[in-house]
């Protein structure tokens, strides 16, 4: 298989396209995002030009506060200077994330074709109920609905009962899964793996030869599972936020 892993920068573009803000706009060297309560990924500012000053950071922070959002920056592997500057000016770091990728075919090979994972063009009521159990509410479902690229909503079933939900979308030939939620009573039964396999099979059928995801780095069990499945680490990012004083 002649597969080339995407770079961290490529996957960050996929993250932005498959979990988009309601609006993006420039503020000096930063791109700001109006997330409409759609989570950190849809709300964090990114540095898009190499040169910046502390005044630029303050301007970006003020603009984010005008959106009723806390000053929040995403720090990629290439943002070490920004990371240091934010640390010195009172921003704390949190939520360290690892990006994983693999050939879609490798993950799709785990699909048992037993209807454990069903793809739907719209979010179903059963999916919304499962997401609600994991604090994935209407604002985050609106993020999914904003995606303009090929996408699908996933319903996982265990013993013929709706037990999992997820969302997958494609950008530049790379599929990324988001909001994968399995009900507590259905965990440790392989449903999460079956849902990922079903998502990868859907991705292959829609021309995406690469499958990717982002997971909190401290979730060692999940990171270990993804590596056992043949996924490789392609990069990291984390957030810095200034808390209210």
Whole-structure pTM value? 0.93
- pLDDT band per the 50, 70, 90 thresholds, residue 83: very high
Conformational region of residue 90, where left means phi above 0, alpha means psi within -120 to 50, and beta covers everything else: left
pLDDT of the residue at 187: 85
pLDDT of the residue at 86: 98
Q: Backbone phi, then psi, for 72, in 5-degree steps?
A: -140, 125
The domain ranges of the chain are 8-98, 100-235
How high is the mean pLDDT of the chain? 94
Query: pLDDT digit string (tens) for 114-153?
Result: 668 899 999 999 999 999 999 999 999 999 999 999 999 9
Strands of the sheet with 23-27, listed across from one edge: 23-27, 30-34, 46-47
In order of 40, 77, 130, 230, 235, the CA distances from 37 in angstroms are 8, 26, 19, 34, 26
Q: How does DSSP assign 71-110, residue by residue?
A: -EEEEETT-HHHHHHHHHTTPEEEEEEEEEEEEHHHHHTT
Annotate 105-127 with b (16+ C-beta within 10 A) or e (fewer). bbbbebbeeeebbbbeeebbebb
Q: How does DSSP assign 161-201, residue by residue?
A: EEEEEEEEEEETTEEEEEEEEE-GGGTTSSHHHHHHHHHHH
Q: Give me the mean pLDDT over the 164-169 stretch.
A: 97
pLDDT of the residue at 245: 57
pLDDT of the residue at 192: 87
- pLDDT band per the 50, 70, 90 thresholds, residue 95: very high
Query: pLDDT digit string (tens) for 20-60?
Result: 999 999 999 999 999 999 999 999 999 999 999 999 999 99
Q: Indicate the class that CATH gives domain 100-235.
A: alpha beta
Q: Give me the mean pLDDT over the 154-183 stretch.
A: 95
Tell me how far apart the alpha carbons of residues 236 and 217 are, in angstroms, rounded to a whole number. 9
């Amino acid at each position: 298989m002649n597969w080339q892993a995407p770079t961290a920068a490529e996957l960050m573009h996929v993250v932005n396209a498959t979990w988009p803000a309601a609006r993006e706009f420039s503020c000096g060297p930063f791109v700001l995002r109006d997330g409409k309560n759609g989570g950190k990924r849809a709300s964090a500012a990114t540095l898009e030009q190499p040169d910046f000053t502390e005044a630029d950071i303050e301007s970006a922070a003020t603009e984010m506060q005008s959106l009723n959002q806390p000053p929040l920056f995403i720090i990629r592997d290439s943002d070490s200077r920004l990371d240091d500057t934010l640390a010195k000016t009172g921003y704390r770091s949190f939520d360290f994330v690892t990006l994983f990728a693999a050939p879609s075919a490798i993950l799709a090979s785990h699909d048992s074709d037993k209807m454990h994972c069903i793809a739907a063009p719209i979010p179903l009521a059963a999916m919304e109920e499962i997401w609600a159990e994991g604090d994935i509410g209407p604002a985050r479902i609106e993020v999914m609905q904003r995606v303009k690229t090929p996408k699908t909503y996933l319903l996982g079933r265990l013993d013929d009962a709706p037990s999992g939900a997820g969302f997958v979308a494609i950008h530049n030939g790379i599929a990324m899964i988001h909001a994968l939620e399995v009900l507590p009573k259905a965990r440790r039964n392989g449903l999460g793996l079956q849902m990922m396999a079903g998502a990868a099979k859907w991705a292959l059928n829609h021309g995406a030869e690469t499958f990717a995801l982002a997971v909190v780095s401290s979730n060692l069990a999940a990171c270990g599972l993804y590596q056992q499945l043949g996924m490789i680490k392609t990069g990291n990012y984390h957030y810095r936020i200034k808390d209210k004083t």
